[in-house]
A and B are shown apart, each in its own frame.
Chain A
Amino acid sequence: MRSWVPWLLVLCAGCDVFELHPYEVRGGVRDTNARAVERLERNVSGGAFRFVVLGDIGVYQDDTVDAVRDIARRDVDFVVQMGDLTEFSSAQEYHWVADLLGESAVPTLAVIGNHDLLGQGKELFLHHFGPTFLSFEHGGSRFILFDSNSREYGFPGNVPDLEQLRSALGEVPGGGHLFTFSHVPPGHADFDASLTEPIEQLQAERGVSISFHGHSHRFSTDARRGVRYFCTDALEIHSYLVVTVEGDSVNVEQVSF
C-alpha cells in the first residue's frame, strides 16, 4: 500500500458513508436534551403554556417525521419523547432520531427506553442525548426525566433510582406543577415490582400532577393515590398528547395527526 492510503482511511473514518461497527459511538448530533433545555430557557413564557408528549418510535421513523412536522404547526413550548427512540440500539438509528429530534423546530427531549439500552445503547444515549436523569423547570413547573427500564438491568432494585427522584421532587418555588417522564410505567411486568408501591407513594406524597410513560404502545390513563398516569400511543397510531398548563389546571388532550 502506498503511504497515503492509511491517512486516507483515517480521514474516511470521519465520514458517514462508513460504519466501523453497528454500536460505534462516533459523531452525529450531541447532547440533544441539554440543548433543548437551553433553547427553552431563552424562550421564557409567562402564564399558560403547552407541551407535547410523544410516544415510542421504534421502527416508525417516517411516522415520527410526520408527528414532528405536525407539532411544529402548534403553539407548544417543548416536546418530550417517551423512549424507544430505536428498535436495535444501533448507532445509525441513534443518528437518525438525534438528527430529527435535535434539529426540530420545537425543542425536543427524550427519555431512554428499553430498546435504547441494548449493546452500547446506554453510551449512545449519553453521547447523542445526555444523562438519562434530567430535571428542568419551565413556566414555573418542574419536569423530571428518568430511566425506569428495570428489566434491562436485571431488576437490581435501584432502577428507577428513587433516591434521585425523591431529591428532584422537592417543592417547586411558586407552587408550580411536577411532571415525571419515564418509559416503563410502574405496575408493568418490565418495571421492578418491588419499586411499584414506593414510587406511587413517593409521587403521591410530593404531589406529582402527572406521571407520563410509553412502552405499552397503546394510550391508557388512570389515577393512583391521586396522581394521574398516562401511557402514550406508539407513533404508528399517529397520535400524541398535548398538555396545557394554566395556573392550577392541567389539561391533557389526545391529538391525532
Chain B
Amino acid sequence: MARPWLVGGLLASLLLTGRSARAESPEQAAAPWYVPDHAALQFAGSIGMLAAGPGWAFLDEQLELEVLVGWAPKAVVGADFVTLTLKGQWHPFHLTHREWSFRPFTVGAAFSYTFGDDYYLTLPDRYVSGYYWFKTALRPALLLGGSAGRSVPSLGLRHLEGYYELVATDYRIVQFLQNPSTVKTGLFTLALGARVRF
C-alpha cells in the first residue's frame, strides 16, 4: 500500500533536483508547469519535526500547492515517522512595505500520509466495514497562517519568506466541537517555516 506513495515521494525529490537545472536557465518564464517555483522547509505542524519539498504557485501567487516529505526521529518522539503531505493554501491579500512583502492571512488544507504498517488507509481485514470512520494513515488538517518575506541578494535568493501556521488536525477539530471547554486553544498547534522562491 505504501509503494505508490513512496513513488510519489521519489518524484517529489526528483522535482526538487530538477529545479536547480531550471534556476540556471535564463528563460524562466518558459518553464513547464510541473517545474516547481518555490520550495518550503517547515518545523512541526503534525507532519514531522522537519518537512521539506517543492511548491507551485498559481493565480499570481494567490494559490499555492506544496508536496512535503516530513520526518520525526525516534529519539524525540518514540518512533520514526515519515510523512508525505499535500498542502493547498490561499493567500487572498498581499501587502508590500519597502523591500518587505506580507501575506497577512492564509487559509489552507493539508492531507498528510504516514508511512508504515502501524497505520491504515483502508481498514484491515479484521474489522467490518465502517468499524472506524477515520484513517490512521491519512490526517486531514485545516490551516490558518501568515507570512513575511523579502529578497536576500547576499544569499542569491530572489525571495525568502518566513511563515507561521496554526494547524487544526481532524482529531483536534472533532474533540474541539464536542469538548470546547477541555480543548480550548488546543484546537491548534503551531508550525514555523520558510519558503524560497526561485
Residues of A within 8 A of B (CB): 1, 9, 12-13, 17-26, 59-62, 65, 87-90, 92-93, 96, 100, 118-120, 123, 127, 151-152, 154-155
Contact = CB atoms under 8 A, between A and B. Distances in A.
A136 B81 CA distance: 36
26 contacts: A12-B43, A12-B44, A13-B44, A13-B76, A20-B44, A20-B46, A21-B114, A22-B46, A22-B114, A22-B169, A24-B81, A25-B78, A25-B79, A59-B175, A60-B178, A62-B181, A87-B174, A88-B171, A89-B136, A92-B186, A93-B171, A100-B182, A118-B132, A119-B114, A120-B118, A154-B124
Given A25-B78, A87-B174, A96-B182, A155 B72 contact: no
A93 B47 CA distance: 17
B79 A26 contact: no
A22 B186 contact: no
Contacts of B178: 59-62
Contacts of A152: 126
Contact of B183 (A25, A60, A96, A151): A96
Contact of A24 (B72, B126, B136, B186): B72
B189 A18 contact: yes
A119 B118 contact: yes
Interface residues of B, number: 42
Contacts of A17: 189-190
Given A21-B72, A25-B78, A59-B179, 8 more contacts: A18-B189, A19-B46, A22-B171, A62-B178, A88-B171, A90-B171, A96-B183, A96-B186
Contacts of B147: none
Interface string B173-198: 01100111111001001110010000
A23 B171 contact: no
Given A18-B43, A18-B44, A120-B78, A87 B72 contact: no
Contacts of B114: 21-23, 119
A176 B54 CA distance: 66
Contacts of A93: 171, 175
A170 B124 CA distance: 38
B43 A21 contact: no
A26 B74 CA distance: 10
Contact of A62 (B118, B126, B179): B179
Max chain A C-beta neighbours (<10 A), residue from B77, B132, B178: B77
B109 to A, nearest CB: 16
A88 B138 CA distance: 12
Given A13-B49, A18-B44, A21-B72, A26 B179 contact: no
B134 interface: yes
Contacts of B43: 9, 12, 18
Contacts of B181: 62, 65
B124 to A, nearest CB: 8
Interface in B140-198: 167, 169-172, 174-175, 178-183, 186, 189-191, 194
A22 B85 CA distance: 13
Contacts of A65: 181-182
A45 B118 CA distance: 44
A66 B194 CA distance: 43
Contacts of B171: 22, 87-88, 90, 92-93
A26 B76 contact: yes
A127 B167 CA distance: 25
B48 interface: yes
